[in-house]
Amino acid sequence: MPKVDPTKQRHNPWVEGLQTIGLSVVLALGIRHFVAEARYIPSGSMEPTLQINDRLVVEKISYNFNPPERGDIVVFWPPDSLTPPGQRRDAFIKRVIGLPGEVVEVSNGQVIVDGVVLEEDYIMAPPSYEWGPEQVDDESYLVLGDNRNSSYDSHSWGFVPAENIIGRALVRFWPPSRVGLIDD
């Protein structure tokens, strides 16, 4: 009986193909779950910074090492109270305005944090509502849309717990005319 050289064994292309597909699926899911994922903008609440149907990459790693900062645009799960039982819970995207422990107020068309008026050259129009003053809970954030007067955000339903934050919007990849880093 002739000896078979183990280095010359035949490889089954079906097995190799399934292994490649399996590894690709595991890597894709792992990257999406732990590193980055694509999201789209379904509403005008972040105009003019983000437009309806913009496509973004949301990175999920940096907040494991450093907390969100004022001005970051974050994707997060809204509080459970905003989603009726049995309905799909969609992620929101807003800008971080108030950090844990800060006192925030919206008055006379301005956002005031710890007594200092924020300079906000990124908003659609000054807010036409009054809110606060309120102290942001520990381990929570106050988030507002850049289209302040057409945004369902913290001034309507409260603070976002830190554990609800999915990640930071980093890059716009669609439409082609607007590709690039998202400005802070």
Question: Which of 3, 43, 45, 140 is labelled catalytic?
Answer: 45
Question: Which of 94, 140, 151, 154 is labelled catalytic?
Answer: 94
Closest CA to 92 of 81, 77, 82: 77
CA distance linking residue 178 with residue 152, whole number of Å: 25
| Residue 60 annotated among the catalytic residues of the structure | no
CA dihedral 149, 93, 71, 53 (to 10 degrees): -80
Q: Are 97 and 113 in contact (CB under 8 A)?
A: yes
114 alpha carbon, distance to own chain's centre: 25
| Residue 3 annotated among the catalytic residues of the structure | no
Active-site residue list = 45, 94
